[in-house]
Chain A
Amino acid sequence: MYDVGLKPPMLRNLIRQHLPSGNHPLNLNASCFELPKLVSILQTHRLLSESDSHSVDPKLINAWKSAVDDWLSCLLSLLSSDMSDKCWVGICLLGVTCQECSNQRFLTSYSVWLDKLLSHIQPPSDSQLVKIASCTSLSDLLTRLARFPEVKKDANSLAGKLIQPVLKLLNEDKVEAVWEGAASLLYALITLFPASIHHSYDKVEAAIASKILSGIYSDITLKKIGYCLALLPKSKGDKDSWSLMMQKFLISINDHLNEAFQGVEEEAKSNEARRLLVTPGKDLPPPLGGHTSLEGGSFNGTSSERLPTATISTLIFCCCKMLTSSYPVQVTAPVRSILALVERLLRVDGSLPHTMLPFMTSVQQELICSELPVLHACSLELLIAIIKGMRRQLLPHSAYIVRVITRYFKRCALPELRIKLYSIVRMLLLSMGVGMAIYLAPDVIDNAFNDLNSLGGEDFEISPANTGPALPQPSNRKRKHGTKTGSLEENQVGAHPKVGESNTHQMTPITVKIAALDSLELLLTVGAASKSDSWRSSIDNLVIRTAINSCKRGWGNVENNVFLPHESASAWADFQLSSLRTLLASFLAPARVRPPHLSQGLELFRRGKQEAGTKLAQFCGYALFALEVLIHPRALPLDDFYSADGVSNRFSENTYTDSQKQNTLFFSVAQTTEQGAIKSHDDLYNKWLQNEVENENIADENMKDKTSRPNDSSLGNVLEVSEQEPAAADADVHMRNEDEIVVQPRRIEEPIPKSQEIVSANAVTSPPAVGTNLEGGEIESQTALSACDRLNDTDHDMLSGVDKVDFNTIGGKTSSTLPNAEKGSSSMAHLESESSMDSFPDIVDADPDTDTDCESI
């Protein structure tokens, strides 16, 4: 298999077996259908490469060379055969040869091959397969040729020879498939040898434009040739031709729309769009494709039966491609006109303005309505393209776009359009950042709520089969009741829209839900920090609910079912993945309190991780890894910062920093409780051991520390506020507080289970907690302390009852863990919560950190 010596004989064998030789008529079944196999053998063994890095044996090289010579002569004889099928085989294989052969051989013979291939796209040849194959082979030849910059000049002139025949194919041939072939060749010419097109720029434009404007061909063909048209300005490469082409596209789209929307939109709209496109006082640019647009406009006669949707969507596609493909120089894009076009398209929903009613027939209206989804999808594509093309420079127009989007979001109900809208939202969030997130959040949340709260797809059992018939029943019953007793009429009225609502909501397909989840994920990552108080908790709830629902029925398998089309099989797995990703984002997004559903989420991730080999397991593994930092937050110093600094880092100080950290509010409680311990960057393990051994001391040190702390923090603010008294009061409070807490462990016998419960998050990775009661007590005191501290700080930033609620929940938590503890600990928890309750108002009053507070005293 790897023996180089075998390659020449292999090639000869292939020639003998597979290539039709001489004048025998070709048996299609026998040899033609073997071609793919032949090609794959050629490619895997690189039989035409004529060189091998390992062997330089001249004999072998000669043998190989002569074998390839034979191969080529065989191909050329096939090419010149007058049997079109043989010819086709030869052309196709020559294309493969262009790709596979050695550099030297290619450079010596490309012009011969080009001539041979060229002859087959010119008139005498009349088989379409031959023409298509020649176009493709030629484009392969050009692709290879473009990789040799040293023959660029020659290549350009050769490429120039191809233009006329290609144009002829486009203009005169009647078969769509041939145009596609010609388009692929044209594409290669434009991208690789733009200079060759330069002279026939207008002719190419005219040829393609007439095809597009006639609008009667298949979507794919139109897209392919449209792409060529969009790239055409590259052949000139200056900024004017780009702008001119763009303007021609826009004007043409506009004209078509004027015609299509006659009767469904106000006249004023079309005039306004026109005004934006053409600067008053300036000349109208020539129509797209010169004069041919008139001839090509065959839809004119048939417009009542058919809308020029294909033409419009192709032209919009061209605009998109122009905006997103590279261009050698900076260009001037008519942003406002494009945005106006998008808005105009999105505004038309097929309903009739009142003034127009008499002029429209219902047939016309139905016609427009049937085509509108396509047009709306196109205009959203255009919006996407302009966001991609403009990037940050979109800023002056961003407000306008957001308004268009949010307005359309309210009305848009079609799944694929909603998916596109969500993707636009994501693009905006990502490219415009926090500033955008603040304003876009309400709309994203509203829509995501609607989409995710509906039943569709989520519950297989409840959906159509059950709820479909089940839901109308109550309303029927009600109606009966209503007829019996008039008193229930109000009920009935109330019930009807509800039923309708839930029915439509059932329809939310799973793909829309995925898009909604992805948007939520991005919103959480970008905008959760800023002004998110109003929506944060409801979104967290929604996300965990969705995640749990998505996972409760087991894991979706990506490749399980051969009977289903691939998309529908993987949709469920994608949904699960999206919901878990959003869940992770909701955990990691900045918040002031510990994510309320952390434990449930961790459980989901752990379960997901066990599904080895799936994408989902991979993600769950990553999620657990990312959450580790949430549970053990670390603010790492630069390597050996301390040793250089000489700042000692004793454990006793940790509590101190801990409380300071609270003041700075970088992290939420759950994190800060652990932070003190983790922050000592050396080894955690030692600290824990130390903790146990020096327990007694630490308790004392803690006390000392705590007593010194309030003084300190007040000192920091003396300069600003120079009010010692409140600070002293504060110190008092802390003293009292500390006393109670630190003393507690001595009163209580066995608080261990509880302490572990409280630091459960930590227990995952911490070294086995040594269960002496003192140690437990120590942890307890820290946690309780930080809880107080947090109260202390959350209070002055929110100044509302929210903290009290928070506190209560924490208090409730501690007490809820009590049943398994002994009565001593329960009394302690009682004490503790009491003590914190006591201290709570005092701290608020005397907090030294907020100047405003102090000043108010």
Chain B
Amino acid sequence: MNVVLASSSIDGGIGCWDLQTGAEQLRYKTCASPPHGLASIGCRFLACSQLRDPSAASGHVLYWSWSKPQAQVKSFPAEPIKPLAGNSEGSYIVGGGSSGDIYFWEVATGRLLKKWHAHYRAVTCLVFSDDDSLLISGSEDGCVRVWSLFMIFDDVRKQQASHLYEYSFTEHTLRVTDIVMGYGGGNAIIVSASEDRTCKVWSLSRGRLLRNVVFPSIIDAIAIDPGEHVFYAGGRDGKIYIAALNVESTPSNNYGLHIIGSLTDQSKPVTCLAYSAERNLLLSGSEDGMIRVWDVKTKNILRMFRHSKGPVNNILVVRLPYLLSRAEPKVQASSRRNEFSLHPPLEKYANSSDEDMDNRAIITLPDTIDLPSYLSSQLINDHIKQLQQQGSSAAAEMEVKRLKLDGQRSMEMFQQLKKVYDNLQEFCVNELLDGQAIEGSKGK
């Protein structure tokens, strides 16, 4: 079941609706999130960084399991964390700090595996590539950077290289507000939005700007059409602009080059967008606390969810694990769910000196099904083959056994015959002796 998750900067919890039916599900409590702070970690649980008052020195990250409304795990990273992202398997969480550092945690142990200085100012968004090997970060200083995680973890190469990032795109002049990545692994495009009223399309394979789209208003959120035909940009003027990627656009139109249309509902500024590929729906969150579900074909609103009074600033479309969505208390499911509470909180500091911990990796072993199969008929064939080769020891042994038994039986037979013979002889001797005695007595 596909659910829509939404959170707001004002505490309204995390709303959860079934996208198909529109029914509201469990509402996860106490959550006031910054933009891009909500993440589903490998579809196993929800994590969300929390807005804190500026005086707080440490950050705040909460975990919720799917089944319980209360936050289960609380962590307090070393500094306020805004954007949060998990890789597709859910084994790592990255967070962007307000100092421009990126934190890289392992979920299973909670260990802070790496921390590196990525930007000069606060990190605003973090995106994993499809294959989880690249991380793209945007910052308040207008910089978009592409990191190869492999490089981040290679201490030797790190020393040789002049910089850690693979690419650094500096064309944005103001704070980067959103980043999305297209399809195609190393050949993908990256679209970034910024407060300088532009969205820029970058080529990952060449590391350069492909297209610059200027919008009438500041764009806070973007979503990309899975076919990369167009992308959608939610503006502060309440419109969702449709900008061309792979489509021809008429040279003269109302909004500007490359912008081929818009979706409007006379609403407050659009703060976040999500695309549900399954039914080609676009979801938009707005400052008025509503979530609108658009049919991108007809440009109509299909449905609206009311989250809270405050602005919605995160929307996720998540496919819930089958077992959870069926809510069947299966034995395995419960054991897996119990595991959840074992996720330790995220550590504050990396203590790389602890070699023993470095050695230990908590892993879930692959779910291979390996059951015995019926063997008897195969065994018969094998043994018959052995028996046919009369030389085999097993066959010989069996033959010996048979001969032994035969021998034993013959022995018994012999004994029996001997006994019969003895009896007969005795009888005869007795008869003779008796006869003689009688004759003798007669003769006497």
Contact = CB atoms under 8 A, between A and B. Distances in A.
Interface in A66-120: 82-85, 88, 92, 95-96, 98-99
Contact of B134 (A128, A389, A435): A435
B39 to A, nearest CB: 16
Contacts of B356: 279
Given A92-B379, A333-B360, A665-B206, A716 B371 contact: no
Contacts of B6: none
B214 interface: yes
B297 A644 contact: yes
B257 A85 contact: no
Contacts of B363: 330-333, 389-391, 393
B208 A797 contact: yes
Contacts of B211: 663-664
Contacts of A184: 372, 375
A395 interface: yes
Contact of B150 (A128, A177, A395, A644): A395
Given A35-B380, A92-B383, A636 B229 contact: yes
A393 B361 contact: yes
A259 B428 CA distance: 81
B231 to A, nearest CB: 13
Interface string B233-249: 00000000000011111
Interface stretch (A136-144, A368-376, A800-808, A838-846): A136-144
A5 to B, nearest CB: 26
B365 A433 contact: no
Interface string B300-316: 00000000000000000
A116 to B, nearest CB: 15
B375 A399 contact: no
A717 B366 contact: no
A435 B229 contact: no
A140 B201 CA distance: 62
Contacts of B381: 36
A274 interface: no
Given A392-B132, A529-B204, A326 B366 contact: yes
A395 to B, nearest CB: 6
A398 B361 CA distance: 13
A63 interface: no
Interface stretch (B52-60, B397-405, B419-427): B397-405
Contact of A36 (B153, B256, B375, B384): B384
Interface stretch (A9-17, A311-319, A648-656): A648-656
Interface stretch (B119-127, B182-190, B284-292, B432-440): B182-190
B441 interface: no
Interface string A414-436: 00000000000000000011111
A434 B248 contact: no
B214 A649 contact: no
A530 B154 CA distance: 19
B254 interface: no
A654 B248 contact: yes
Interface stretch (A185-193, A445-453, A468-476, A682-690): A185-193
B185 to A, nearest CB: 6
Given A398-B150, A529-B184, A665-B203, A436 B257 contact: no
Contacts of B278: none
Given A433-B131, A638-B296, A797-B206, A35 B384 contact: yes
A399 B376 contact: no
Contact of B377 (A39, A399, A656, A850): A39
A124 to B, nearest CB: 13
Nearest to A392: B89
B185 A433 contact: yes
Interface string A840-857: 000000000011000000
Contacts of B162: none
A389 B375 CA distance: 29
Contacts of B361: 332-333, 335, 390, 393
Interface of B: 87, 89, 91-92, 106, 108, 113, 129-134, 148-151, 153-157, 166, 171, 184-187, 189, 201, 203-206, 208-212, 214, 225, 227-229, 245-251, 256-258, 260-261, 280, 296-299, 335, 339, 342, 355-356, 358-377, 379-381, 383-384, 386-388, 394, 397-398, 401-402, 405-406
Given A143-B374, A435-B148, 12 more contacts: A33-B384, A84-B401, A139-B372, A395-B92, A395-B150, A403-B156, A433-B131, A439-B154, A530-B204, A664-B211, A716-B258, A720-B214
Q: Which 3 residue pairs spanning A and B have beta carbons closest together?
A: A433-B131, A95-B376, A435-B133
5 contacts: A35-B380, A393-B89, A399-B150, A433-B132, A529-B204
